[in-house]
Structure 1
């Protein structure tokens, strides 16, 4: 009787602990920053001291606490409409991370499915998928996003769809390449000889062996999607006012930079921390998942 050879699985807590022990101080700081940002985003409605959309024109453009004209209770000051910058930053962080997470997940599902289909089926299907990948790479996606948002509008659903289309080609290329490599492995040939069909091979033999590169790509694409969402909001094509996102806050606050820079500092620093933490986390996972790097 022929048995397929499976890659031994390692428990997630054990892998995380091993990677944490081997991480340098910069990576540990990045991980702690990432955890802190996620916690702040999850509990934003409970942490925010004020309604993020509550306006008070009498209190507009008040500086953070410690400066002259600061208003008590407004730790990071107020914006041009008298709204609390801290509350808007926390709610903006929550929405920005939600949009980035949904967009990256949609891109993973869409691109991963096409890459898996191309690798398993091959032939014209593979040629069609890879032609679409090459087209996506050749056209700057920011222009595609601007075109879609101008036609379909700037609702949350449309923005998630646009963000999901960003980077799907990377998932498709990675999955297709890994699948083509694995299709020639002995355990795949053994599964075929045992009568396993394409669907069973994909579910039980291919997908478990391509999880690591997909996780790494997911973390790396998150930061790119955060920057894309911030860019679209900065240009006024993202989530529409008064709903706050980090990019929208920076875009509106740029007009007040000379007189009220605190409006921009808080959301801009959050964007910086997100991209820093996610990029370091992606490198960390890559080093831990790459067999060649671990063997050195």
Structure 2
């Protein structure tokens, strides 16, 4: 006699179970990641000043606690007297938005092409994998610089460029997983029952490739944060006076000897974002992988 099916835990219960299974570093990364996202979302409320408001009288003031610090400016001011803390919050907000949109676009492009290559095969697969090999062979930073120099530095173009970064990794992962799954008995049974390729992809393939895609998404997200910061550092990202973390570091590097706090705050946020995302990726992978949960 078969045992009755065990009901799946609710979302809060599953989240609580994942939290309890996390180690100290993973819990710290979760807290840091959620705190950064909360700060980014609440930037218009939390920021004490307009991020673009200038005051040449208050330029290059150090953080509170140092000599010549100006009241109200927690992390000091930059070369134009703008509040570093406020600009860092809004820079974090825009950097996370661009990275999230870019990573999602890359997932959609690469995942769709990988799924198509794995299911259809033949010349379609060969063409897609040739494009994947070409993308891997060419350093993408050079491609990004070329595209931004030709198309400009609007938000839409930057999101497109960031979305093209790393799509080939999704395509390779999805294509490999699909080809492996297509040989398994339950897929063969679905095909024998007359299930259409779209139904097989939706009902049988996609649920079984969530775990590697989650891991790749987090890796891509942290890499895209660094890529966006690099492009902004070089002056090809979002243009002034709008702040991103990378542009703040790029502008502040000229003042490192006399005003290192201009660079310290955005650089620390970039470090915390990449740390939290990488650790969260491992945590989510462990929670999404049924093979690991079964141990």
The alpha carbon displacement at 1:66 in A equals 1.0
1:104-183 alignment, distance < 5 Å: 104-183=103-182
Whole-angstrom CA distance in 2 between matches of 1:194 and 1:292: 27
Whole-angstrom CA distance in 1 between matches of 2:140 and 2:290: 33
Give a deviation string over 1:247-271, Cα, whole Å, max 9, x none: 0000000000110011001000000
Q: SS of the residue aligned with 2:277?
A: helix
Partner of 1:29: 28
Q: SS of the residue aligned with 2:156?
A: helix
TM-score (norm 2): 0.94
Give a deviation string over 1:132-182, Cα, whole Å, max 9, x none: 111111111101101101100111000000000011011101111111111
1:238-249 alignment, distance < 5 Å: 238-249=237-248
Partner of 2:66: 67
Whole-angstrom CA distance in 1 between matches of 2:9 and 2:180: 22
The alpha carbon displacement at 1:19 in A equals 2.3
Partner of 2:226: 227
Q: Is the 8 A contact 1:213 1:289 kept in 2?
A: no
Q: Is the 8 A contact 1:64 1:74 kept in 2?
A: yes
Give a deviation string over 1:106-136, Cα, whole Å, max 9, x none: 0000000000000010011111111111111
* Structure 1: gaps (5+ residues): 1-7
Give a deviation string over 1:187-229, Cα, whole Å, max 9, x none: 2111112111111111121112212211121111110000000
Q: SS of the residue aligned with 1:221?
A: helix
Is residue 213 from structure 1 mapped to residue 212 from structure 2 by the alignment?
Answer: yes
Whole-angstrom CA distance in 1 between matches of 2:90 and 2:263: 15
The alpha carbon displacement at 1:16 in A equals 2.8
Whole-angstrom CA distance in 2 between matches of 1:202 and 1:9: 23
Partner of 1:4: none
Q: Is the 8 A contact 2:249 2:267 kept in 1?
A: yes
Change in CA separation of 1:199 and 1:295 when aligned onto 2, cut-off 3 Å: closer
Q: Is the 8 A contact 2:233 2:247 kept in 1?
A: yes
RMSD across aligned positions (CA): 1.5
| 35-44 vs 185-194, which moves further | 185-194
Partner of 1:76: 75
Give a deviation string over 1:221-241, Cα, whole Å, max 9, x none: 110000000000000000000
Q: Is the 8 A contact 2:210 2:288 kept in 1?
A: no
| 185-194 vs 218-227, which moves further | 185-194
Whole-angstrom CA distance in 1 between matches of 2:222 and 2:8: 28
Partner of 1:265: 264
TM-score (norm 1): 0.94
Partner of 1:277: 276
